[in-house]
Amino acid sequence: MTTVKFLNKQFNGPLVLASGVLGVNASSWGNVNKHGAGGITIKSCSLQPREGHPNPTMTGTKHYFINAVGLSNPGVEEVVKEVEVFRKTNKTPLIGSVFAGCVEDFGKCAKALAESAVDFIEIDISCPNVKHEFGEPYAFSPDATKKITAEVRKQVKKPIIIKLSADAPDIVAVGKAAEKAGADALCAINTMSGMAINAEMAAPVLSNVQGGVSGPAIKPMALKAVWDLYENVKIPIIGTGGVTYGVDAIEMLMAGASLVGVGSAVYFRKIDAFKLINEEIEDFMKKNNYKTIKSMIGAAHK
């Protein structure tokens, strides 16, 4: 697969593992990389460890998954140790992801993770599954996004990526606020709010009642988010949401993504998802005479 340059780092292909899928440890990141991911986004971590929600936390059909894992993670200190383990044998770009409940903690957690050997810091302001603790996601508000981005910018020299939500009333306003406050890139989109009901039980399926929808069902909303952002911001975008086959990744690039996030596809196509999607992208490029990934970025905007 041809290499792709993103914020001055070389990625082996356009695919990156999306945050939250396939664990928080070095061996899992290495395994995903071995199977074709050009970069790895780490599961979002917080200053303190979090247990997350009780089971059941995940359900799905062939069209989507709904999860309410609740940001379970071992805390930033443990994640930093895993990054050290990973870096002993692997130079693949690592995107560290952080989550917090207030502006100040976003800054502290991002600073702590940025001191490790991660290459980028992604700021998860868009998780839909922790409303009862923290209220609506910060990514719904341009003002809150501006404050968090500015605080992280103050604390961190490494490139920062702000992860956005297509549930936001105006994702473009949020993206612009992040750009203005010093973000180097955007990631769109996180899961979208939804729920599942078990008719026999006359009850919600998830213990948290509601969760975040991912997988093929959210691809149209992800494409629209990336399209709209591409037309309105200058910083690059990681397009994420529903990418399962090579053609989905091509569509995401053509909407304006510079890299493509892959999460739920590893449930649908197993660990080979990255390798298969890469092969499908290469086939498409050969058939349609595209020589580089770069030449496809934003190609659908005339």
Ligand X SMILES: Cc1cc2nc3c(=O)[nH]c(=O)nc-3n(C[C@H](O)[C@H](O)[C@H](O)COP(=O)(O)O)c2cc1C
Give residue 178's identity as a one-letter amino acid code. Answer: A
Residue closer to ligand X (CB basis): 184 or 202? 184
Placement of tokens 């992801």 in the chain: 97
Binding mask 30-69 for ligand X (x = CB under 6 A): -------------xx--------------------x-x-x
Residue closer to ligand X (CB basis): 7 or 222? 222
Residue closer to ligand X (CB basis): 238 or 297? 238
Q: How many residues bind ligand X (CB under 6 A)?
A: 28
Residue closer to ligand X (CB basis): 141 or 191? 191
What is the helix (H) or strand (E) element at residue 260, kind and residue range? strand 259-262
Kindly state the tokens that stand for 66. 């709904």
CB 129 within 8 A of CB 92: no
Placement of tokens 């990336």 in the chain: 226
CA 44 to chain centre: 9
Q: Binding residue for ligand X (CB under 6 A) from 26, 139, 260, 262? A: 262
Binding mask 212-251 for ligand X (x = CB under 6 A): --xx--x---------------------xxxx--------
Question: Parallel, antiparallel, or unpaired: how do β-strands 15-17 and 94-98 relate?
Answer: unpaired
Shortest spacing between CB 202 and ligand X, in angstroms:
26
Shortest spacing between CB 53 and ligand X, in angstroms:
11
Measured between alpha carbons, how far is residue 281 from residues 14, 165, 212, 250, 287 in Å?
Answer: 10, 26, 28, 7, 10
Strand, helix or coil for residue 263 = coil
Measured between alpha carbons, how far is residue 214 from residues 24, 44, 79, 82, 162 in Å?
Answer: 19, 16, 24, 26, 18
Q: Looking at 6-14, 130-138, 175-183, 257-265, which segment touches ligand X (CB under 6 A)?
A: 257-265
Residue closer to ligand X (CB basis): 73 or 116? 73
144-173 binders of ligand X (CB under 6 A): 163
* 127 in active site: yes
103-142 binders of ligand X (CB under 6 A): 124, 127
CB 243 within 8 A of CB 217: no
What is the helix (H) or strand (E) element at residue 229, kind and residue range? helix 219-232
Q: Looking at 18-26, 136-144, 147-155, 270-278, which segment touches ligand X (CB under 6 A)?
A: 18-26
Positions touching ligand X (CB under 6 A) are: 18-21, 43-44, 65, 67, 69, 71, 97, 124, 127, 163, 190-191, 214-215, 218, 240-243, 261-265
- Residues marked active site are found at 127
